[in-house]
A and B are shown apart, each in its own frame.
Chain A
């Protein structure tokens, strides 16, 4: 079972993952599931009507705009990092949070290392599946590494220019 870390109300905790990630060639098991965008687009309506929680996994080359109308019904958007150097998911996360006001979980999956933790939290990720064995403590330390930030982003932290004004 991979480590699963959640960020809620500013606190990090190790959590049980209620979702099963389902590959495209797998049968849908009972319970809450995360499926690919393509599968969601064909089977999503049916899955949702069964009363379960449904999450969608979005690849880094896929546009989150494709989910815009379905977001109110989606519990989780899992943004996939094929390599930790692929930065497209940061834009996807910010769009989900800031443009589409998505209130569900934005989860980082794939090549997820503690070096990205701060960037991820700032862009609105609130769930993480670290691939480097990070503990909750390590993750939390990485996120809070910088005492200040220079930009506005999805996390609502006041940027330096605001702190200076106040």
Chain B
């Protein structure tokens, strides 16, 4: 794992000092709220319905136990004893006092953490594959590039005041766990036939009011030229992105307006003029790469007797192993998914005690490594199969072992009307109702992979457009209604879902999902997932069933 050197630490300290001064000037009335707002946003501080919210960056979703313990401590000291992991792999504290914010930032800095550029019209926290360094699928470790991008984008002098927010994801596997195509820039590591490392560059994805799947503007960019190319993309966007309408200011609108081909042409023309000195020297890449050197894994048999015995003895563990353990590149190891989606839980919420349990497990059994996923779960990427039963026992005791990875109750939901000033409708309780409807793990497993994503308004923080089932909260004359879409995906088979029909009232949503699942079970052929069936049949049979009793 990358450790901050003195330069990285100084950056955090200087930033924290700067923000302390800005908060003091705001409290003294020297800065207007209009002037202060973009400054506090660049430091992760939002004003929500009830209080300030602080969004802490978790760069490429990677945490060590000390960091997670510090987050637990902050949650207990300055918040209500918990935090909320987001679809950007960040952690949000929802009950913060403005005057405490500088002290919290200092506490974060003490464990090499920060809230820099987690909001505002700038380059946001970079995300990556939560299985990086653990999966055999990857071409290269995407964290090397994500860390390099983190540094490059931090307090970037030219791109700190963009038309709108800007999100970058880096993945290195054919199976995309980063939702790369929904990002402003998605980078997919590839190897050319001659072995040269490079990126497929996708630009102009994004959700919000107008969902776009990012088109590829360059199928292969030599990896060593990444930063000059990023500079070219950002410069074209900074100069030509719309600034007259906040809803049309994302790069996706520019790419769509110009067409991907013309946008690519402009980027290439700019790139030709950007100096190669904008690229990172090999020495720095090597330094960062060294920090992500492969862990030393023990030589273990591929089959663990302790693990096999525990599965036979304890069906609940066997179910957890089936759903939450993923193949590791080293024999005798597994990737363990930790569910922050217990039945009836708020998706992504994690109590201080739970954070401490996970930190302890990472220390004892997981090589000090913890990941956050964009699907709002946690991961222990390196666990010996021999230790999996002990890990499961501890997780289960902390309410963290729900065996529902990628299943119907593994729902993404934004904070919604319970917290957010923008929301039209609740998201969390809709997720809870659906999870309760599918509380029977037997049935959930029978249904198989099904990604439900819920947003409380059209800003789409819950990624509803790309849910296999998407649910969007709307306001109809003061009542909460929900628009359902089918067939979306955020993964390598990305696509925007299609509307099912008229919006449904709050109390009919879980029941409608139940009906959709029944139709799928009836219609599915062979090993089709829900998504495959919807894409084959179209929405018609689903629509008919959900609206049957309306007539």
Chain A residues in the interface with B (C-beta under 8 A): 63, 84-88, 90-91, 94, 98-99, 113, 115-116, 118-119, 122-123, 145-153, 160-165
Instruction: Select from chain A the residue with minimum beta-carbon distance to B120.
Output: A85
Query: Inside 8 A of B281's CB, which chain A residues have their CB?
Result: 161-162, 165
Q: Is the CB of A85 within 8 A of B14?
A: no
B contacts with A: majority SS = helix
Q: Contacts A87-B162, A146-B14: A151 and B152 contacting too (C-beta < 8 A)?
A: yes
A118–B273 CB distance below 8 A: no
The chain B residue with its CB closest to the CB of A148 is: B7
Nearest CB in chain B: distance from A135 CB, A: 13
Q: Does B275 contact A (CB under 8 A)?
A: yes
Residue of B nearest to A90 (CB): B158
Tally chain B residues at the interface, Cβ within 8 Å.
38
Minimum CB–CB distance from A156 to chain B (whole Å) comes to 11
Q: Of B15, B17, B152, B159, which contacts A87 at CB under 8 A? A: B159
10 A-B residue pairings within 8 Å (CB atoms): A87-B161, A99-B273, A119-B160, A122-B157, A146-B14, A150-B152, A150-B155, A151-B152, A151-B157, A161-B151
The minimal Cβ–Cβ distance linking B217 to chain A, given in whole angstroms, is 19
A150–B154 touching, CB < 8 Å: yes
- Top 5 A-B pairs, shortest CB-CB distance: A87-B161, A122-B157, A161-B284, A119-B157, A150-B151
The answer to whether B121 and A85 have CB atoms under 8 Å apart is: yes
Stretch at the interface among B55-63, B235-243, B453-461: B235-243
A153: which B residues are within 8 A, CB to CB? 157-158
Query: B517 at the A/B interface (Cβ < 8 Å)?
Result: no
- Give A153's nearest chain B residue, CB to CB: B157
User: Is B511 an interface residue when CB atoms closer than 8 A count as contact?
Assistant: no
Q: Are B238 and A91 in contact (CB under 8 A)?
A: yes
Cross-chain contact B243 with A90 (CB below 8 angstroms): no
Q: A88-B238, A91-B238 are in contact. List 6 more A-B contacts (CB 8 A).
A: A94-B158, A113-B35, A119-B157, A147-B14, A149-B157, A152-B277
| B64 vs chain A, min Cβ distance (A) | 22
Q: How far is the CA of A84 from the CA of B158 in the complex (A)?
A: 13
Q: In the assembled complex, which residues on chain A have CB atoms less than 8 Å from the CB atom of B35?
A: 84, 113, 115
The verdict on B18 contacting chain A, using a C-beta distance below 8 Å, is: yes
Taking a contact as CB atoms under 8 Å apart, the answer to whether A91 and B154 are in contact is no
Smallest CB gap from A165: residue in B: B283
Shortest distance between the CB of A143 and any CB in chain B (Å): 11
Residues of B within 8 A of A85 (CB): 38, 121, 161
Contact partners of B17 in chain A: CB under 8 A: 145
* Cβ distance B274 to chain A, nearest Cβ, rounded Å: 9
From B11, B14, B156, B284, contact of A164 by CB (8 A): B284
How far is B39's CA from A88's CA once the two chains are assembled, in angstroms?
18
In the bound complex, residues from chain B placing their C-beta under 8 Å from that of A162 are: 281
| Residue of A with least CB distance to B236 | A91
A165-B284 in contact given A90-B157, A90-B158, A148-B7 (Cβ < 8 Å): yes
How many whole Å from A9's CB to the nearest CB in chain B? 20
Inside 8 A of B22's CB, which chain A residues have their CB? 115
- Give Cα A63 to B235, complex, Å: 12
Q: Are A147 and B10 in contact (CB under 8 A)?
A: yes
What residues of A have a CB within 8 angstroms of the CB of B280 in the complex?
161
Are A146 and B11 interface neighbours, CB within 8 A?
yes
Shortest distance from the beta carbon of A62 to any chain B beta carbon, whole Å: 10
Residues from chain B with a CB closer than 8 A to the CB of A116 are 161
* Alpha-carbon gap, A57 to B39, bound state (A): 27
Partner of B11, one of A86, A99, A113, A148: A148
Complex contacts, A123 vs chain B, CB 8 Å: 157-158
Chain B residues within 8 Å of A99, by CB: 273
What are the interface flags for B116-158 relative to A under an 8 Å C-beta threshold, 1 for contact and 0 otherwise?
0000010000000000000000000000000000011011111
Is the beta-carbon distance between A145 and B14 smaller than 8 angstroms? yes
A161 to B283, CA, bound (A): 8
Residues of chain B in range 1-42 having any CB-CB distance to chain A below 8 Å: 5, 7-8, 10-11, 14-15, 17-18, 22, 35, 38-39
